[in-house]
Amino acid sequence: MPERILSLASYSPVEIYGANDSNLNMLRDIFPKLKIIARGEVMKIIGSDADIESFETCFDRLLHAYDTYGKIDSSLISRVVSPQFEQEKRSEDQNKNGEILVYGRNGMVIKPRTANQRKMVSALEKDDMLFAIGPAGTGKTYTAVALAVRALKAREVRKIILTRPAVEAGENLGFLPGDLKDKLDPYLRPLYDALRDMLPHQKLDTYLEDGTIEIAPLAFMRGRTLNGVFAILDEAQNATPNQLKMFLTRMGQSAKFVITGDITQIDLPPRQASGLVQSSKILKNIEGINFVYLNEKDVVRHKLVTRIINAYEADHGSSEERDNKEKRGDD
């Protein structure tokens, strides 16, 4: 009797098979002529060649749908085995809301939530390099990571690189416990958090292990040429002009670069210039480079964040006015 071995190496068997093997049992009911034996990440399919090929086609569709929607349930399985599935999917792709960037874990819909986040999406569709500048909580990094995951799923790029300058925000990096990776991980944690919203744990772990997704300090980019890569430089306000120039000139063929930062929260030493501030001036008229500026209206965190940003901006304006009066000698 013919048999075939299928591997789930980059998937969690529990998420594919379902709770108490509910998804697997449904597949057994749909293909009663096949003997389906599941042992962890390996499935053995026994039956006729025609039935096995039919099952493989169905199962490939199911894994692709899981990659897209982040979950498998009985309704999805019913759709996948339908002869009209491919036609329905094409129609759905044409008619669905074009704003959806990716489906995250458990089918969570991830899409731009503000006008300037939508500008980020359209800007990167038009150009290969995007600067997204704005205050905390405006979704700069999250939107950029979603765009990167979408490009990877669509096979527009072969790799994602996420990087940040390792600059202390008032704390001393040297006193953190552990080796270099342990010391740097807290600085890269927001990037991990965004990825874990958008990819199943096992898939993300596989991508991190095989290098499909790389998260590294900015200094590790020196000397590289990044071909076919979606690269994100986060917290770019803490990159020096030389560091930012180094990163931008790593861009290779078929690459997309997104640079995000908040020029109101620069943690560099007082006399050290910010590369993001400089680049926003000298690169603003370069064809193929787009700048999107986000503001307090784009804040998607707690409503207090907007009020905090407004208060600091108002105080900054008042401080500048006081300084100008002092320089003029006004009362």
Alpha-carbon distance of 59 to 24, in angstroms, equals 11
Alpha-carbon distance of 66 to 135, in angstroms, equals 35
* 256-261: strand order across its sheet: 213-217, 159-164, 229-233, 256-261, 129-133, 289-293
Reduced to 3 states (helix: H, G, I; strand: E, B; else coil), residue 100 is: coil
pLDDT, residue 25, reads: 92
What tens digit of pLDDT does each residue of 134-191 get? 988 899 999 999 999 999 988 899 999 999 887 654 444 555 556 556 666 777 788 8
Alpha-carbon distance of 301 to 305, in angstroms, equals 7
C-beta of residue 47 within 8 angstroms of C-beta of residue 35: yes
Identify residue 182 by its one-letter amino acid code.
D
C-beta of residue 133 within 8 angstroms of C-beta of residue 141: no
Alpha-carbon distance of 80 to 72, in angstroms, equals 10
pLDDT, residue 137, reads: 86
pLDDT, residue 171, reads: 45
C-beta of residue 55 within 8 angstroms of C-beta of residue 31: yes
Alpha-carbon distance of 298 to 90, in angstroms, equals 33
> Which runs of consecutive H residues, i.e. helices, occur in 70-95?
74-81, 85-95
Paired residues of 229 in beta bridges: 159
CA 65 to chain centre: 19
Furthest-apart CA atoms within the chain: distance in Å: 97
pLDDT, residue 64, reads: 80
pLDDT, residue 75, reads: 83
Model-level pTM?
0.71
Which strand (E) or helix (H) includes residue 130?
Answer: strand 129-133
Alpha-carbon distance of 34 to 47, in angstroms, equals 5
Token pair 């036609």 in the structure block, residue: 87
C-beta of residue 206 within 8 angstroms of C-beta of residue 191: no
Residues of the chain with pLDDT under 50: 94-97, 169-172, 327
